[in-house]
A and B are shown apart, each in its own frame.
Chain A
Amino acid sequence: MALSRVPIGPYHPLQEEPEYFNLITDGEKVLDIEVNVGYNHRGIEKLSERKSFDQATFVIERICGICSTSHPFAYTRAVEDVFPVEVPERAKYIRTVIAEGERIHSHLLWLGLAGHFLGYNTLYMWVWKLREEILDVMEILSGNRNNYAMFKPGGIRRDINPDDIPLVLKKIDSIVPTLDRLRKAIIDDPVLHKRLKGIGILTKEDALDYCAVGPTARASGVEKDVRKDDPYGAYDRVDWDMIVTYKGDVFEKVVVRVLEMYESIKIIKQCLKNLPPGEIDLKLKDIPPGEGIGTHEAPRGETFHYVRSDGTNRPARHKVRAPTYMNLPTCEATVIGESIADATIILASIDPCYCCTERLTVFSPEGNKLYNGNDLIKLSQQKTDKIKKEMGLK
């Protein structure tokens, strides 16, 4: 029988970001896979070299719209590693709270999408409703639902208002019963067992060979988590567990993420209850010449930033490595040999984030119609008006 080619992408409803997978199949079975990335170019690394150290924090916050704190966290640690200096205790605790809040909402987002990919849209709606609660918490803490702009080299930009803490703790506690129901609905669901167990297995050897990171690696028994191995922030000052499972299939990856949310809740609560008083910012002035490396365990795995300073106020080189960059190539090990129907959820199981992975390129598409910010606002208003009119509201 002749082999056929099943192209997925670059634009397709499976994921919200462009990527291209070329599956070579024999009937239903995937024999080979070719991954093409590079549809989402913004030139962040080059751009960062033209910004001051302080401005670059804002640029790289926009590398990823979901885990918008993980890049600034790693970047600020890299800049601090050039000295090296330690940030004040209070800043460490607040950084940890923001990072863990982000982990919860990011894992919920993926869980919803995973449900959606499987055709389980009840789960999708349910999970995203819960995600709103945690976004409200983030808004109370930082003023923003996303892109919190809390980080700066040497500390944080804004303090948490002590009056807000009881409300935040109450809201976090109110999430737990829903999360419990969700956990039972996912982990004990026989349909999901049938659908997800034993497919897309990433063995421990492959995880190590591809240098996979985060929940993708931890579901395969790789006991590595930057928060434990190289403690930073307040992670060594609070009590929490690293979640590791050993089978490496898609179901285990779901389990790791669901259980990690409980750990994040534990961390946030301890941090807010024991928030030390004091300064929040070192007020760093000049960055000395040298180089620094910063890492952070983002929801998807380790984010890695390398910064070189030549003594001016701009980074001479800024290298960004997002977790999906290491996790996406593992699909060669997980998809081959599976059926086309399973390929979609296996590809989604690493929680891929392409705009992070492709942060780097300088690109000029031809013939693209361009809008500026005002045009986009206008378009959005026109669309809202149109919908209102159609619904007879105006």
Chain B
Amino acid sequence: MPDRNEILNELKNRYKDEIVSFYDKSPRRVYIEIKSESIVNIASYIFKELKARFNVASAVDARSHIEILYHFTLEYLDLLISLRVKLDRENPTIKSLTSVFKGSNWIEREMYELMGINFEGHPNLKRLLLSDKWPEGVYPLRCDYKEWDNNAIRDRGV
């Protein structure tokens, strides 16, 4: 089994045009920023060739843009690789990873309803958690979210 440096160097060489920045934070954590259009290629490589497990993705509204981090664990190296993509805040769109592994189905639906990110090619892009009464275009995890429902249950200080 190749070691940590070999695998990371191979990854860097193979996708040198698609990788924007590479941050080797600690022995167990690596953050790689990539171009958003190459997510399917790189994620397939990590999942299928490197035999990683997809942990989950987490979307962050960074005010100037929207970020998604796709977290992958390589158990045999004790390493967690996070792929970072930055999306335009006005119309965040990225290709779906459901064709690569089924584990990304729910999290993409969740990011779609809570962050307003569109996933191209998702087979069933509908709400996962929010109620049907929730208005269109209101995304609760965006930083400019304002409460819209005056009857909502608030912290009653119980």
Contacts and interface: CB of A to CB of B under 8 A. Distances in A.
A335 B133 CA distance: 31
B153 A304 contact: no
B54 interface: yes
Interface stretch (A22-30, A109-117, A354-362): A354-362
A41 interface: yes
B151 A230 contact: no
Contact of A293 (B53, B61, B71, B130): B71
A348 B111 CA distance: 27
Given A37-B128, A210-B103, A211-B101, A364 B152 contact: yes
Interface string A119-157: 000000000000000000000000000000000000000
A308 B67 CA distance: 12
A69 B55 CA distance: 20
Contact of B71 (A306, A360, A365): A306
B29 A81 contact: yes
Residue among B101, B129, B149 with max Cβ neighbours from chain A (10 Å): B129
Interface string A198-213: 0000000000111110
Interface string A297-325: 00000101010100000001101010001
Given A38-B128, A363-B131, A293 B82 contact: yes
A373 interface: yes
B110 interface: yes
A278 B76 CA distance: 33
A368 B153 CA distance: 10
B131 A319 contact: no
A16 interface: no
Contacts of B46: none
A46 B129 CA distance: 14
A145 to B, nearest CB: 21
Contact of B153 (A37, A84, A210, A370): A370
A211 B54 contact: yes
Contacts of A220: none
Given A306-B58, A364-B153, A37 B129 contact: yes
A45 B53 contact: no
B114 interface: yes
A210 B78 contact: no
Contacts of A45: 141
A347 to B, nearest CB: 16
Contact of A362 (B53, B106, B110, B140): B140
B158 A373 contact: yes
B56 interface: yes
Contacts of B152: 362-364
A46 B140 contact: yes
Interface residues of B, number: 44
B80 A358 contact: no
Contacts of A360: 110, 114, 129
B153 to A, nearest CB: 6
B75 A209 contact: no
Contacts of A302: 55
A295 interface: yes
B105 A38 contact: no
Contacts of B71: 293, 304, 306
Contacts of A81: 26, 29
Interface string B84-97: 00000000000000
A360 B55 CA distance: 17
Interface of A: 37-38, 41, 43, 45-46, 81, 84, 208-212, 224, 229-230, 291, 293, 295, 302, 304, 306, 308, 316-317, 319, 321, 325-326, 329, 332, 358, 360-366, 368, 370, 372-374
Interface of B: 25-26, 28-29, 31, 53-56, 58, 60-61, 69, 71, 73, 75-76, 78, 80, 82, 101-103, 105-107, 110, 114, 127-131, 133-134, 140-141, 147, 149, 151-153, 156, 158
Given A326-B103, A361-B140, 20 more contacts: A208-B101, A210-B101, A211-B54, A229-B76, A230-B73, A230-B75, A293-B71, A293-B80, A293-B82, A295-B80, A306-B58, A321-B55, A332-B102, A358-B129, A360-B110, A361-B114, A361-B130, A362-B152, A363-B130, A364-B152
